[in-house]
Amino acid sequence: MFATAACALLATIALALARAALGPSVFDRLQSANTIGTCAMLLLAVMGFLGGRPEFLDLALVYGLLNVLGTIAVLKYFRHGDLGEPGDAEESPKP
């Protein structure tokens, strides 16, 4: 039962990897990285149940947190060209 969910998640990760490789723009790659992170989080949870180890759920939660933070940080870098000084909020992004 968990094996079917784990295989489906692995298939989704493979498809997202293919999109990351194909993706024309950098944002496609970032989108697939975000999807891979979510699927990895779910896979961790399913593996925790498969292996009978409830600690994996804490790993999944922390992994999800780091994944979202990483996405936001990379986005900020791409949008401002650098990580942006504190305070210059909505000025026009440098090309």
Distances (CA, A) of 70 to 4, 25, 65: 29, 18, 9
Distance CA 23, CA 43 (A): 24
How far separated are the first and last CA of the chain, in Å rounded? Answer: 50
Q: Work out the burial of residue 64: count CB atoms within 10 Å of its CB; fewer than 13 is exposed, 13-18 middle, 19 or more buried.
A: middle
- Per CB under 8 A, which of residues 5..64 are in contact with other proteins? 5, 7-9, 11-16, 18-19, 22, 25, 27-28, 30-32, 34-35, 38-39, 41-42, 45-46, 49, 54, 57-58, 60-61, 64
Q: Tell me how long the chain is.
A: 95
Please report how close the Cβ of residue 83 comes to other proteins at its closest, in angstroms: 13
Establish if 66 lies at the interface with other proteins (CB under 8 A).
no
**Residues binding other proteins (CB under 8 A):** 1-2, 4-5, 7-9, 11-16, 18-19, 22, 25, 27-28, 30-32, 34-35, 38-39, 41-42, 45-46, 49, 54, 57-58, 60-61, 64-65, 68, 71-72, 75-76, 78-79, 93
